[in-house]
Chains A and B, each alone.
Chain A
Amino acid sequence: KAGVTQTPRYLIKTRGQQVTLSCSPISGHRSVSWYQQTPGQGLQFLFEYFSETQRNKGNFPGRFSGRQFSNSRSEMNVSTLELGDSALYLCASSFGTGYTEAFFGQGTRLTVV
């Protein structure tokens, strides 16, 4: 079956703009989590959605938001972009919020200039 699909793969934005990233989880998976990855910082948890509801939220400013649709696809939005938002944004899907294995997409590489 198809894996986790993230679009776009690469994105260049300027400071102050906003961006929307998309994640389509594995068919049948209802949990989608978002992570920000920067060199040396590992994967920083942004938020998790399950059945269209945000279940957890990491320590990121309110400029970072997300949502999940009825087909489990998820989007995350970053408003008023800052240079420090340049990172790889990874989406992970799992069957449920408590499942042990998460499947990651290839990520969206966001560069803010």
Chain B
Amino acid sequence: GQSLEQPSEVTAVEGAIVQINCTYQTSGFYGLSWYQQHDGGAPTFLSYNALDGLEETGRFSSFLSRSDSYGYLLLQELQMKDSASYFCAVREAKSGSARQLTFGSGTQLTVLP
């Protein structure tokens, strides 16, 4: 079985730093991804961690600890356009060689001026 938990809502002010946590329970773990979705838009890929540690991509960073089944997305220098839903997703092994991408329920980030 699998499950992912992340906060439903986070609010921060422009210019601040925010961290969105994600814990997961799954068998056959291959990696943790983060996706961003603006209202009315399609989810877009932000980052992927297969190994422990921090991955940095511009203002966004993602961290993974496989021993703790935990990861987070760190957003720095927040901008109004960062207001969106953020989903963590695990890539996990299913039948045979198939690897399913399973999403959490999402965190709604609101950036205030």
Give the interface of A toward B (CB within 8 A): 4, 33, 35, 40-45, 48, 50, 55-56, 90, 92, 97-98, 100-107
- Within the assembled complex, what's the spacing in Å between the Cα atoms of A113 and B47? 38
Contact A100 B50 (CB under 8 A): yes
Q: Which of B10-18, B38-46, B71-79 contacts A (4 or more CB under 8 A)?
A: B38-46
Chain A residues contacting B102 (CB-CB under 8 Å) are: 45
Contact A106 B42 (CB under 8 A): yes
- Within the assembled complex, what's the spacing in Å between the Cα atoms of A104 and B94? 21
Chain B residues contacting A90 (CB-CB under 8 Å) are: 42-43
Give the interface size class of chain B.
20 to 34
Given contact pairs A45-B102, A90-B42, A92-B43, a sample of 16 additional A-B residue pairs in the complex whose CB atoms are under 8 Å apart: A41-B105, A42-B103, A56-B94, A56-B95, A56-B98, A90-B43, A92-B101, A97-B97, A98-B30, A98-B91, A100-B31, A100-B33, A101-B45, A102-B101, A104-B43, A105-B42
- List 16 A-B residue pairs with CB atoms under 8 Å apart, sorted by A's residue number: A4-B42, A33-B101, A42-B104, A42-B105, A42-B106, A55-B96, A56-B94, A56-B95, A56-B98, A92-B43, A98-B97, A98-B99, A100-B50, A104-B42, A104-B43, A107-B42
A55-B105 contact in complex given A48-B100, A100-B50, A102-B45, C-beta closer than 8 Å? no
Give the interface of B toward A (CB within 8 A): 8, 30-31, 33, 35, 41-45, 48, 50, 87, 89, 91, 94-106
- Within the assembled complex, what's the spacing in Å between the Cα atoms of A57 and B104? 17
